[in-house]
Structure 1
Amino acid sequence: MSFEIRLAASSDAPAACNVLRRSIAECCVLDHQNDPAILQAWLGNKTPEMVASWFASPTNFSIVAVEEGHVVGVALLTGAGKLALCYLLPEARRKGLGKALLSRVEEQACSWGVKALQLHSTATGEDFFARQGYLRSGNVRSPYGVETVFFWKQLDGSVCDVPEGKRKRFCGCSAT
């Protein structure tokens, strides 16, 4: 099992868009219940052009997981400390890629001086984030009609105070 976590490039936008769309449509059925109106609203801004604009924003930190030369995961952290995206292709789940993406996002947040991360999880992702130390803090209805779980995590010594050269690497991720 070999994969790389690296900064997202604008050329990754079409593949990252595919990750988002497939993950939502195929993995989040528990959330959208195959309701066409919810899916249309949720997927409405998941276009290659929009994803490229998110990657290009200087206030975002965007990364991709690459396996065998193909983008199989994407994560995006805002400068305000919100994990806005963390998605994998259905066939890329349960291989450590999500954990590796999340670890790299947390490292970046620490380097920015962010003390806590927040996110809105689908029901599908709820157990994953809880296992990674995120705390549930209520439910929030998304603009596209899905009930999400608000999570947050204090970034303390377990993440932020470890010297760069001493941090565990699960995947050979690059430090940039």
Structure 2
Amino acid sequence: MSFEIRLAVPADATTVCQVLRRSIAECCVLDHHDDPGILAAWLGNKHPAMVTSWFESPTNYSLVAVRDGEVVGVSLLTGAGKLALCYLVPEAQRQGAGSALLRRMEEQALASGMKALYLHSTATAEGFFDASGYRRDGNVRSPYGVETILFWKPLVRDAQPDARKRFCNCNSA
């Protein structure tokens, strides 16, 4: 399956919100267990105004995956070296879009001088990040009540994990 990976723009915000909300609600049941409180907290900042602010932030780098003219995935890298978003609609999973987004984010991080990339994975996505060469570094509870796995990946030889990266800030992407 072929995907176009391009920079996210504010005009993508409404569609990206749908991607985020569908991915979380439909694919992350293992994490939220259909708990309405967890879902409400997790989805609470997934609205167009907030997503637009993430895309417009000069410290963030955001990409979308597009198939047949439709946005099917999103990823966001913060200036602190955190992969804050990497989500796909259910029908785009296991077709290469996630790997393509992740590869482009790693290239951007390296081009920005980052030595390692960090992320908090759901249990649902744990296998994907593990298979992509990320290393587990413990668990962190998210502000919305989900236990996440802290992963990191060295982008340069001899990179070491940074203990200060045990942050979440999930409400601010």
Same fold per superposition (TM over 0.5): yes
CA distance in 1, matches of 2:37, 2:70: 30
Equivalence for 2:83: 83
Equivalence for 1:97: 97
Would you say how many aligned residue pairs link Structure 1 and Structure 2?
157
Equivalence for 2:69: 69
CA distance in 2, matches of 1:129, 1:2: 21
Q: What stretches of structure 1 of length at least 5 have no aligned partner?
A: 158-176
Runs of 4+ that moved beyond 2 A: none
TM-score (norm 1): 0.88
After superposition, residues 8-157 of structure 1 pair within 5 angstroms as 8-156=8-156
TM-score (norm 2): 0.90
CA distance in 1, matches of 2:2, 2:150: 32
Measured against aligned partners, the alpha-carbon deviations of 1:41-75 in whole angstroms (never above 9, x if no partner) come to 00000001100100000000000000000000000
CA distance in 2, matches of 1:147, 1:2: 33
Equivalence for 1:160: none
Q: What stretches of structure 2 of length at least 5 have no aligned partner?
A: 158-173
CA distance in 2, matches of 1:104, 1:88: 15
Alpha-carbon RMSD across the aligned residues, in angstroms, is 0.7
Deviation at 1:3, TM superposition (A): 1.4
CA distance in 2, matches of 1:3, 1:18: 18
- Which letter maps to 1:149? I
SS at match of 2:61: strand
CA distance in 1, matches of 2:3, 2:65: 7
- Which letter maps to 2:12? D
